[in-house]
């Protein structure tokens, strides 16, 4: 018996394109393989907002965040999410649904407050990210991209979505000294990793689909050899090019900061 899901991409034109619109078709593809029939919808205006099981909001840069907040505020997104709809908020989308965010001039603004994070300015980082496998979420090592000048502070003890092997992530101190990335709180997944994240990492698409269908047991194994090979090659490339576990990163924070200067 096939279950029907609606995936809505919200206001993709409000922000700078981050190549993350392929996430919707990735959910449809993975859903089909999981016997779910996924309908994808793009919402461009508040009055075309739909009741969906998964909402995708993304884009990059801070120029469009104010417009995105305004557009999202006039929808039922908050109510839908509190009813259990899944929200994947990427980069500019994460700013918009955060409790507060900063514009390029450094001024602080309120976000929708759906994700328990606040956003702060930080030096710019760009590059390819490799996550560590996470058995609790049934995720292998994933690949993604980051390009931002922001620090993401989790609040209310919310857990991070990922820990990173390579990359800068949230840029907040973690109790265990690991590099964390994004936030996972209830049905909200927030991340800076933009681009076709779910297309590159079908297991993350599985996680979104599992949350959307309230599935608690793991999905049966499902290989997608072409995508897995592309990811394997990227991860190998990143490991080759990233400096061998930077010795500075093992020093206490203040010492490392002084040395970096």
In this chain, which of 5, 8, 15, 152 binds other proteins, going by CB under 8 A? 15
In this chain, which of 2, 4, 17, 257 binds other proteins, going by CB under 8 A? 17
Of 130, 141, 129, 56, nearest in space to 96 by CA: 56
Of 22, 26, 28, nearest in space to 5 by CA: 28
Minimum separation from the CB atom of position 91 to other proteins (A): 11
Which of 127/253 has CB closer to other proteins? 127
Contact 93, 58 (CB under 8 A): yes
Our finding on whether 16 is near other proteins (CB under 8 A) is yes
Minimum separation from the CB atom of position 33 to other proteins (A): 11
User: In which residue are the tokens 């840069």 written?
Assistant: 61
Applying the rule CB under 8 A, the residues between 44 and 63 that interact with other proteins are 44-45, 48, 60-61, 63
Our finding on whether 221 is near other proteins (CB under 8 A) is no
3-state secondary structure of 221: coil
In this chain, which of 84, 113, 127, 133 binds other proteins, going by CB under 8 A? 127
CA quadruple 222, 28, 11, 95: dihedral, nearest 10: -10
Which of 26/185 has CB closer to other proteins? 26
Minimum separation from the CB atom of position 142 to other proteins (A): 14
C-alpha 126/C-alpha 124 separation (Å) is 7
C-alpha 60/C-alpha 191 separation (Å) is 11
Burial of 224 (0-12, 13-18, 19+ CB in 10 A): middle
Interacting residue ranges for other proteins, rule: CB under 8 A: 13, 15-19, 21-22, 25-26, 29, 42, 44-45, 48, 60-61, 63-64, 126-128, 145, 195-196, 199, 226-227, 229-230, 232-233
């Amino acid at each position: 018996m096939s279950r029907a899901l609606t995936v809505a991409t919200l206001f993709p034109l409000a922000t700078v394109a981050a190549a993350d619109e392929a996430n919707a078709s990735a959910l449809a593809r993975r859903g089909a393989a999981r016997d779910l029939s996924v309908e994808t919808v793009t919402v461009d205006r508040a009055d075309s907002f739909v009741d969906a099981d998964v909402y995708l909001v993304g884009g990059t840069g801070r120029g469009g965040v104010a417009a995105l907040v305004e557009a999202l505020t006039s929808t039922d997104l908050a109510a839908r999410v509190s009813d259990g709809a899944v929200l994947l908020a990427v980069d500019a989308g994460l700013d918009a649904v955060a409790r507060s965010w900063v514009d390029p001039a450094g001024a602080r603004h309120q976000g929708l407050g759906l994700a328990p994070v606040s956003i702060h300015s930080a030096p710019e980082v760009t590059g390819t990210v490799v996550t560590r496998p996470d058995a609790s979420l049934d995720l292998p090592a994933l690949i993604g991209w980051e390009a931002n000048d922001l620090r993401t502070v989790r609040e209310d003890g919310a857990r991070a979505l990922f820990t990173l092997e390579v990359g800068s992530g949230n840029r907040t101190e973690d109790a265990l000294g690991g590099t964390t990335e994004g936030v996972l709180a209830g049905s909200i997944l927030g991340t800076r990793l933009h681009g076709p994240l779910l297309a590159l990492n079908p297991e993350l698409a599985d996680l979104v689909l599992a949350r959307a269908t309230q599935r608690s047991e793991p999905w049966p194994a499902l290989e997608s050899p072409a995508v897995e090979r592309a990811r394997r090659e990227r991860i190998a490339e990143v490991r080759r090019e990233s400096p061998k576990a930077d010795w500075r990163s093992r020093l206490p924070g203040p010492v490392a900061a002084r040395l970096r200067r």
